[in-house]
Structure 1
Amino acid sequence: MMSPPRGSDADRSRQVSGEASTTPRMKIGNYRWRVCAMLLAATTISYIDRQVLGVLAPFLQEKIGWTELQYSSIVTAFQAAYAVGLLCAGAVIDRFGTRIGYALAIGIWSLAAMSHSLATGVISFAVARFALGLGEAGNFPAAIKAVAEWFPQRERALAAGIFNSGSNIGAIVAPLMVPIVAAQWGWQAAFLCTGVLSAIWLIVWLLTYRTPDQEPRLSPQERAHIGAEPEAPTRRVPWSQLLRFRQTWAFAAAKFITDPIWWFFLFWLPKFLHAKYGLGLLELGAPLITIFLMADAGSIAGGWLAGAFIKHGMNVNRARKTAMLICALMVVPVIFAAKASHLWLAVALVGLATAGHQGWSANVYTLTSDLFPRHAVASVVGMGGFAGAVGGMLISTVIGLLLQATGSYVPVFLLAGGAYLVAWLVVQLLVPRLEPAVLSVDAKET
């Protein structure tokens, strides 16, 4: 099936400005949401894989004898590989397509997850984490590209919020599953189980995923709905060109400033709850599940909120940034978590912050499809993810040094509370109107 003709840059600008469509509503299919469900499943498995270590960290630290700084170095190994992998993953996915690119990524991380069961000390755990980071780096670039392929602009934030909620579902499933598996069959079995889940997903993905123009089960109405926007050329855009745009730097800056806070929540919350409130391995489940259930709700609500603003007449620029500001403000109260006198007060404050982060993240990821044509999305996401992983490496080292020296989480929670407002201001300064980037390839073909 031939692709619809590309529109002019003015057409793209009108879409971003949020002009209402005069096309009457019609019944369309929902196959695209099946694709979104696959992306949700992959993200869930990815976060189960990476969260296993976080849940087991207090237990493994006592069993193997890690110091705070050694634990931070294991976390940093994952983030270093994740940073490098994101730079490569976006380009690989843009070159080979979402189906093959995603398959390569999850194949690597499935083997890496299972290899943790062979680790015996700091170095071997760091090597396994490095391999896991390389594989998991492909998840978000591939998922965002799939959303750009399968969803019109007004639905992308919601789709991104739904699949991004898998990061919270994974963080919920991990404290439910991991302590039980570890208690019954040993900690090695927990890592083996998650690797098997990844392998099963890979088989299903290869058997089912196609682009909309290649999917025979897609109805004509849904195909037209997906293809209503101008389709970008398939030529790959080099990083050197993308780095010339303020839009690229806005996305990268938002990731660099706020991703480290999520890494802190993911890898240090069990240790914080253990150190502050004396929770054992089997007692961590309820607080962690509560926190990440709140995060899950925030992910979906954040994506829905921007879409609701657009439906009520806001242009994309105002709707996206208003939703982001609301999410940023939700994180601020977490500055009081380290001094909370009661466990469940701390849980409520951290849960509100994780909800704010995930709502923020759903909208930040959607900025790429607001600001760039589809063929450049995965590369931009990869570059921004690299920036976020570098920020995560920095904060991991800082946290390790702080905890080794003082044992206090107060400075970390203070940093977390203010990071999102700073990031929002940076985005506003760099892209005050969310104008789409006009790449040289696009200019030649219009």
Structure 2
Amino acid sequence: MTASSDFRTRSAWTMTLLLTGLALINFLDKIVLGLVAVPLTAELHLSPEKFGLVAGSFFWLFSTSTVVVGFLSNRFPTRWLLLAMGLSWALLQLPQAMTTSAVGLLICRVMLGAAEGPSFPVSVHALYKWFPDRKRNLPVAIINQGAAMGMLLAGLLIPLVTRQWGWRMNFLLLGAVGAIWSVLWLCFGREGQLGKPRAALPQQGNVDLSAATARSHRLPYRRILTDPSVLCVFALGFTAYWTLGLTLTWLPTYLEKGLGFTGVEAGRCFAVVIATATPVNIGLSWLSQRMLERGATTRRARVHLICLSAVGGALIYILPTLFHLLPLQKVALLAMACALPTLSFTLAPALLAEMVPDIQRGSLVAIHTALASLGAAFAPVAMGRIVQLYGSANSHAYELGFVVSAALLTAAALAALRWLHPERSHRMLNHFVTRAAA
């Protein structure tokens, strides 16, 4: 583990603030399509199934670009990779504002997804260069709350902008916000130094040398990607992204068409759902970090919390199908159901970083994001087909889609409780890399 004596508190939290702003913009870009779905589908004459296809297209190249840029982040400074992302996002908002066809919109969303895919893993990799292992839960949780804040602002502001100036104006405003962030990052963004090899590191005994060797030598990716613990982290991430994909693309429509809220009311309810995730995610992340500081194992402090959160969210997703509830009661339940699985976004990168060599951390977090985000690509299409079958004005159709999410969350959590042992995987991989370097 990297010595914490290199930890520079002020600079580390400055980078956290900037990267939180980037996450905010990232999720504004993601959610805007769902919040303008009703006027957009009416103008472009899209059926629910076609809208689900367009919405899911955002993730078609998301995974590919995430892996490619993730490997690049092992070799190139994250500062410049993140700047390139911010600028490209800003530019890609313009053609979305001017599109006049479903095909044009689909192409724009595919390109934007490719540009935004690497954001989270590269941000986490950049942040881990500033924070040692036992201090990583909270800053990543804060970055994730930048995403939550983006969705919260989207729910409050996008319906108002749409009502006042039309749905296209939202994309123009997002382009301006992305450009402003890029200027700030160019001025203040820096590269962290934790984990960077030193030319003249004094020898401090065989144990320290073995640990340093394990963290600075590469493992075969075949061995890492077949490790049961790594596969379980991927499965948890897939289900978390599945629920996120439904939230981004179908929750606003469910609130408006399924539950009967007006566009502005639906936006406010959406904001409530998103706002709930912030205290839940930060509170659970703080609890996990506190447990680690008091000597708890990673399996207890991270794995068990993720699994309990996933199962809790799954159970709450099922409740609207079992009981007759008022619309506001369903909103309250959805707020908790959507919030609990987000803990995976915070703790999964920390689990991977603990198990694999530092030199491969960026690529592994990227591979995780790439594979997990496939859930967000499939979920809108699956929900679209269910809604197409049962009718977009029927709340039961959307709730059946949430039951599918519940089943996936439960299956991934049970698998992780059985096979996700980060300390065991770390020892096995560490033993392998130490032998290979001997």
- Residue 126 of structure 1 corresponds to 106
Alignment pair present for 1:341 and 2:330: no
Alignment pair present for 1:307 and 2:289: yes
- Residue 351 of structure 2 corresponds to 367
- Residue 406 of structure 1 corresponds to 390
- Residue 222 of structure 1 corresponds to none
- Residue 429 of structure 1 corresponds to 418
Distance 1:320 1:262 in 2: 20
Residue 46 of structure 1, CA deviation = 0.5
Amino acid at match of 1:432: H
Distance 2:158 2:422 in 1: 45
Is 2:83–2:185's contact at 8 Å kept on the other side of the alignment? yes
- Residue 377 of structure 2 corresponds to 393
Residue 259 of structure 1, CA deviation = 1.2
Alignment pair present for 1:158 and 2:155: no
Alignment pair present for 1:277 and 2:259: yes
Distance 1:155 1:86 in 2: 25
Identity of aligned residues (%): 23
Point out the more displaced range, 233-242 or 50-59.
233-242
Point out the more displaced range, 393-402 or 124-133.
393-402
Residue 441 of structure 1, CA deviation = 6.3
Corresponding residue to 1:358 among 342, 348, 351 = 342
Distance 2:85 2:230 in 1: 24
Alignment pair present for 1:94 and 2:86: no
Is 1:158–1:303's contact at 8 Å kept on the other side of the alignment? yes
- Residue 279 of structure 2 corresponds to 297
May I ask how many residue pairs the two structures share in their alignment?
412
- Residue 64 of structure 1 corresponds to 44
CA distance 1:257–1:418, shift in 2 (3 Å): same
Is 1:149–1:374's contact at 8 Å kept on the other side of the alignment? no
RMSD over aligned Cα, in angstroms?
2.7
Distance 2:221 2:87 in 1: 26
Alignment pair present for 1:330 and 2:312: yes
Point out the more displaced range, 422-431 or 378-387.
422-431
Point out the more displaced range, 430-439 or 353-362.
430-439
- Residue 265 of structure 1 corresponds to 247
TM-score w.r.t. length of structure 2: 0.86
Distance 1:28 1:389 in 2: 32
Is 1:79–1:392's contact at 8 Å kept on the other side of the alignment? yes
Distance 2:16 2:435 in 1: 31
Distance 2:178 2:233 in 1: 29
Structure 2 residue ranges without an equivalent (≥5): 195-210, 392-396
- Residue 138 of structure 1 corresponds to 118
Is 2:250–2:380's contact at 8 Å kept on the other side of the alignment? no
CA distance 1:70–1:440, shift in 2 (3 Å): same
Distance 2:266 2:291 in 1: 38
Structure 1 residue ranges without an equivalent (≥5): 1-11, 16-20, 215-228
Residue 103 of structure 1, CA deviation = 1.8
Specify the SS of the correspondent of 1:30. helix
CA distance 1:129–1:439, shift in 2 (3 Å): farther
Specify the SS of the correspondent of 1:70. helix
Alignment pair present for 1:170 and 2:170: no
Amino acid at match of 1:430: W
Is 2:8–2:130's contact at 8 Å kept on the other side of the alignment? no
Is 1:302–1:362's contact at 8 Å kept on the other side of the alignment? no
Distance 1:392 1:118 in 2: 25
Residue 81 of structure 1, CA deviation = 1.8
Is 1:116–1:125's contact at 8 Å kept on the other side of the alignment? yes
Residue 236 of structure 1, CA deviation = 7.1
Amino acid at match of 1:412: G
CA distance 1:30–1:71, shift in 2 (3 Å): same
Specify the SS of the correspondent of 1:212. coil
Is 1:302–1:363's contact at 8 Å kept on the other side of the alignment? no
Specify the SS of the correspondent of 2:421. coil
Is 1:257–1:388's contact at 8 Å kept on the other side of the alignment? yes
Amino acid at match of 1:346: K
Distance 2:220 2:163 in 1: 49
- Residue 201 of structure 1 corresponds to 181
Amino acid at match of 1:413: F
Point out the more displaced range, 246-255 or 295-304.
246-255
Alignment pair present for 1:54 and 2:38: no
CA distance 1:99–1:239, shift in 2 (3 Å): farther
Distance 1:378 1:255 in 2: 16
Distance 2:171 2:189 in 1: 27
